[in-house]
Structures are given as structure tokens and as C-alpha cells.
Amino acid sequence: VEATLILVKPDGVARGLTGEILRRIEAKGYRLADLAYVHADRELLAAHYAEHEGKPFYEPLIEFMSSGPIVAIRAEGERVIEGFRVLAGTTDPTTAAPGTIRGDLGRDWGLRVQQNLVHGSDSVESAERELGLWFA
Ligand code: GTP
Ligand code: MG
């Protein structure tokens, strides 16, 4: 069965939205196969976001992601990778479609990084790589 890495980012945890986000994942029919409360260090975040190194939002992104606890989830189900990214909505929470996690619960806070509540792996290869990092 397909598996993906989902993260409730520090803004989601701090705003008390973890339960609401888990509820949406379960309501869609995906299985919560593993779950961890993580204070991510720079090393883990640098590995996780290696593809973004050098981009203007990279440093603020690493700072934001290390600013507080994260809830890491291994979710399983048929086409869960694609399915969760649809549940999450597009990257910019201001314009993400209503009905999605980012569209319903997120917005722009005028910061240097988009605080958009969740991460979901974007391919089978990323999911395998990211699950190995967060659930070593
Ligand atoms: P997708 O764009 O659908 O791939 O969502 P994603 O969450 O996978 O985003 P991506 O991998 O492109 O970028 C990782 C994270 O960096 C995002 O979730 C945002 O938090 C942040 N980010 C991405 N692009 C930008 C940007 O153009 N500006 C700012 N400020 N932050 C960004
Ligand atoms: Mg991406």
C-alpha cells in the first residue's frame, strides 16, 4: 500500500489545529500508520528541504520549521500521496481553494515564509526518502 509523509508544521501545532488536520486525513479514509511529536533540528530540516537550498525562502523556512514542535505522520492508502496534496491545497494559503486544509485554515501573515500548516510528500521517491528521514 502507498505511504506518504505528512507534517503538521509548527504553525499548525501552535494554533491547535493538529486534531482538525488529523480528522481530515482520517475522514478521507487514510490510515494513520505512525505518528511522532518532533522538535526538528537543522540537520534533519536541511536534509528534508535539500531541493530548496539557495532559494530566497530557504533560511526563513528552516528557521520557521525549527521554531516549535512538528507532528510527523506516516499515512497510508491507495494514491495517498496525490490525495493528501489535494486535501492540503496549493502552497499559498491565501489563494488555496476553500475546502482544503490551507484554504480553510491558512492565510498570509506577512512573514518571509509562507506558513501553510502542512507538508505532504510530492512523489513516491520523495515519500520514501522523507519517511526514512522522519521515521528513521
Ligand atoms: P507545493 O508548492 O505544492 O510543492 O507545496 P509544498 O508545501 O511542497 O511547497 P514547496 O516544496 O514548494 O516549498 C516548501 C515550503 O517552502 C512551502 O510549503 C512554503 O512553506 C515555503 N515556500 C515555498 N515557496 C515559497 C515562496 O515562493 N515564498 C515563500 N515565502 N515561501 C515559500
Ligand atoms: Mg514541494
If you average pLDDT over every residue of the chain, what do you get? 97
Closest CA to 34 of 72, 68, 8: 72
Residues 75-81, mean pLDDT to the nearest whole number: 98
Residue nearest to atom 6 of ligand 1 (CA): 91
49 and 9 Cβ atoms separated by less than 8 Å: no
**pLDDT tens string 29-48:** 999 999 999 999 999 999 99
Binding positions are 9, 57, 85, 91, 102, 116
Q: Considering only CA atoms, which of 119, 114, 121, 117 is closest in space to residue 104?
A: 117
Residue numbering of the annotated binding site for ATP? 9, 57, 85, 91, 102, 116
Cβ-contact 83, 123 below 8 angstroms: no
What digits encode the pLDDT tens for the residues 14-33? 999 999 999 999 999 999 99
What number does the ligand 1 atom closest to the CA of 51 have? 11
Reference 18, options 8, 26, 27; nearest CA is 8
Average pLDDT value for residue range 53-57: 95
Residue 114 Cα, ligand 1 centroid: separation in angstroms? 7
Residue 136 predicted with pLDDT over 90: no
Question: How many angstroms does the Cα of residue 92 sit away from the middle of ligand 1?
Answer: 8
ipTM of the shown complex: 0.88
Residue 1: pLDDT band (50, 70, 90) is very high
The CATH code belonging to domain 3-134 is 3.30.70.141
pLDDT digits (tens, 9 = 90+) for 80-120: 999 999 999 999 999 999 999 999 999 999 998 999 999 99
**Ligand 2 centroid to 85 CA: how many Å?**
10
Report the predicted TM-score, pTM, of the whole model to 2 decimal places: 0.95
- In contact, 82 and 123? CB cutoff 8 Å: no
91 near 97, Cβ under 8 Å?
Answer: no
Set 39, 48, 52, 119: catalytic member: 119
**Ligand showing the shortest atom-to-Cα distance for residue 7:** 1
Active site annotation includes 119: yes
